Structure 1
Amino acid sequence: MALRGEGVVVAVAGMQKSSGRRPVAAGLVLAALLLPVLPFGDALAEPKPTIAQAKKKLKRLNEEADKIVEKYNQAGEKWKKARKKYKTLNDAFTRQNAKVAGLRKELVTMAVSSYQLGGVTGWEALVGQASPENMLSGLAAADQLSASRAQSLNAFDEANKTLKGDRDKAKAALAEADRTRDELAAEKAKADKMVKAQTKLLRELGAFRTGDPDSAGIAYTGPASGNARAALEFAFAQVGKPYQYGGTGPGGWDCSGLVQASWRAGGVSLPRTTWEQWSWGASRKVSLDDLQPGDLIFSEGLGHVSLYAGNGQIVHAPQTGDVVKVVSLSSYGRRLVGAVRP
């Protein structure tokens, strides 16, 4: 470094003998060369966000995650229905295929028998019968054979038509199932990306909670009774278990999965996703000023749902990096859109 500095000084000294502003320019060059050299990455690195900025970003991510997770859940339900539809139609196709195979075998047997019998059942043989009784009996047998053959042919033809229809329906259902599977995969990729971003921020803030999949929860001591009490007792028994997007228990839950399972314990069958639960409750909506224990509380955008526990509290599965917990409704942190009473 010293040798480099000396060379620059000599150069500057030489430049001072010439006229104009070259000495000034040379001085600037010297100053630039003597400045401490910073690593390129450090020079361009963004400043680490403050805690307040990180929390603000996390809040925005959580709101986005609510919607993304519910879209993932919707795609999952759509995939299950499409797969079930395909299985039903494919089973029908399989049964019909077996029926057609049986009818085909019956027709082949009948054709072989007719060939082997040759003219025995023909008019020549019947007319040549010595006894009128034998001839009448032969005519009756021929009519029966003809009717049986016609019936079998008709049955085979109709079964074939049904088989084609069943096959086409099954193929269409399989294509639909493939599309919904791809849709599910795309939504899962979005959710995974969102969870990764949430987790990173939470760990930076030291606020990531892993939860305990085997948590025994806490006892419900609120004012609910009947089915609502059974639902809330189940929900409170999940307290401490981790939030898991797409989770339907028993070791982890998302918001709508927890609500569905809780009310199942209360004897009421709810749909899987928040959007479906809100739609299901179209005729059961209640005012937010008239909440009762067990009511489903929905956030704006229908991205989140919780259970009202009474006494101003709710139980819910919040978001990534948190656990099923009981909090006051006033600290819910989400704008509410309405409530449904199962």
Structure 2
Amino acid sequence: MQKRKNSGPRRRLLWGGAFIAFGGVLAPTAVANAEPEPTREEVEQRIEELLEETSTLVQDYNEAEEVFEAAEAEVDDLEGQIGSEEEVYAELRRSVGELASTSYQSNDPDSVAAALFVDNPSEIFEQAADLSYLSEASRLRLEDFAESDARLIALKEEADIAYGEAEEQLKEVEKNKEKAEEALEEQEELLAAFDGDDPTASGESPNGPTPAYTGSASGNARTAIDFAYSKIGVPYLWGGTGPNGYDCSGLTQASWAAAGVSIPRTTYSQWELPNAVAWEDLQPGDILFFFPDLGHNGLYVGNGMMVHAPSSGKTVSEVRLADYWAAQFVGARRP
């Protein structure tokens, strides 16, 4: 079987690529009443397309969350800096006030008093240079006053822009998320009207006893696999990192974290792990990646099986790689 090579994550604008493609898949559903009933093959094909599109959307959602959380941290940091600048500003304001008082007492108040009320703080530089009666130290304090004011304004603007952009990005992908879940649920309902299994869930037995790992993995890989098996039956959750729900990359991250190994959050960033593994060299504990856009991954457990968090409405499951998942395989990484 020929494996597709992916050079790295294909980043998409969250309000563009992924959902534009997804919208093309969703459109026929809206006019289903005006068309003949779909065949089983058509429904299966639709589910496979939706699974790929929504898997990518999940990772876009995770990236948007990471960006938003980073923006929040940046805002907190900037607010701390702004607090420091405000203290400097207040102190310099006090110093300038003293200069103004001194100037007033010397019967020459205009220069310094005007400097306190200029519209553009940078104008203080020019005025300060003309205050020949001030000592050099006093003139430098005036310049510091102007610079502190400019820094304070710039920091506030930077915080507002970073946070606002991240918030809008997250809101957009959350709206796409809701539409994606509705479409996938509709297609699953159509498939349920036919006999047979969902090809994307081959080997899954969600209603049977929870399987236990009996393979030969040891060390960190064994710990990671044992953790993944312990989560079988836990609901799939968008952006989930446990303990009450997981998405695919949240499960692989948490599994390896249980073994004391830190890996990144999204499938995109997990793909960047340095130890690439070919299909024929897979070992239990390796992280398997699927779809050209790296929208899905799972934990290889040996004997042609993996444990993964599949999609909305499902639970963490053990599945066979043969057929559907093997055909979607693009590569593997070993933490």
Sort the TM-score into its range (normalised by shorter chain).
0.5 to 0.7
Identity over aligned residues, as a percent?
41
Distance 1:164 1:176 in 2: 19
Q: Which residue of 2 aligns with 1:270?
A: 263
**1:150 is aligned to 2:139:** yes
**1:100 is aligned to 2:92:** no
| Higher mean C-alpha displacement, 186-195 vs 198-207 | 198-207
- Post-superposition offset of 1:286: 1.2
Distance 2:62 2:190 in 1: 24
Give the counterpart of 2:174 among 185, 193, 209: 185
Distance 1:289 1:101 in 2: 67
- Post-superposition offset of 1:271: 1.9
| Higher mean C-alpha displacement, 178-187 vs 110-119 | 110-119
Q: 1:77-96 counterparts in 2 under 5 A?
A: 77-96=66-85
Structure 1 residues 238 and 217: CA distance shift in structure 2, 3 A: farther
- Post-superposition offset of 1:192: 3.3
**Count of residues paired in the alignment:** 268
Q: Which residue of 2 aligns with 1:12?
A: none
- Post-superposition offset of 1:267: 1.9
Distance 2:143 2:93 in 1: 12
Give the counterpart of 1:224 among 217, 225, 231: 217
Secondary structure of the residue that 2:322 maps to in structure 1? helix
- Post-superposition offset of 1:93: 2.6
Conserved 8 A contact 1:86-1:177: no
Structure 1 residues 176 and 64: CA distance shift in structure 2, 3 A: closer
Write the deviation string for residues 249-307 of structure 1: whole angstroms up to 9, x where unpaired: 221211111111111222222222112211x22x3101111111211111132121011
Q: Which residue of 1 aligns with 2:287?
A: 296
Secondary structure of the residue that 1:326 maps to in structure 2? strand
- Post-superposition offset of 1:158: 2.7
**1:256 is aligned to 2:249:** yes
- Post-superposition offset of 1:243: 1.8
Q: Which residue of 1 aligns with 2:128?
A: none
Report the TM-score, using the length of structure 2 for normalisation.
0.68
**1:312 is aligned to 2:304:** yes
Q: Which residue of 2 aligns with 1:284?
A: 275
Secondary structure of the residue that 2:145 maps to in structure 1? helix
Conserved 8 A contact 1:65-1:191: yes
Structure 1 residues 173 and 297: CA distance shift in structure 2, 3 A: same
Letter in 2 for 1:294: G
Q: Which blocks of at least 5 consecutive residues in structure 2 are unaligned?
A: 1-32, 109-133
Q: Which residue of 2 aligns with 1:243?
A: 236
Which structure's relative contact order is higher, taking Cα pairs within 8 Å and 6+ residues apart?
A: 2
Secondary structure of the residue that 1:318 maps to in structure 2? coil
Distance 1:225 1:328 in 2: 21
Q: Which blocks of at least 5 consecutive residues in structure 1 are unaligned?
A: 1-43, 120-144
Q: Which residue of 1 aligns with 2:319?
A: 327
Distance 2:80 2:329 in 1: 45
Conserved 8 A contact 2:51-2:184: no
Q: Which residue of 2 aligns with 1:337?
A: 330
Rg larger for:
1
Distance 1:104 1:199 in 2: 67
| Higher mean C-alpha displacement, 154-163 vs 287-296 | 154-163
- Post-superposition offset of 1:235: 1.0
Distance 1:50 1:271 in 2: 41
Structure 1 residues 64 and 177: CA distance shift in structure 2, 3 A: closer
Give the counterpart of 1:112 among 93, 101, 115: 101
Report the TM-score, using the length of structure 1 for normalisation.
0.67
> Which is helix-richer, 1 or 2?
1
Secondary structure of the residue that 1:330 maps to in structure 2? coil
Distance 1:111 1:118 in 2: 11
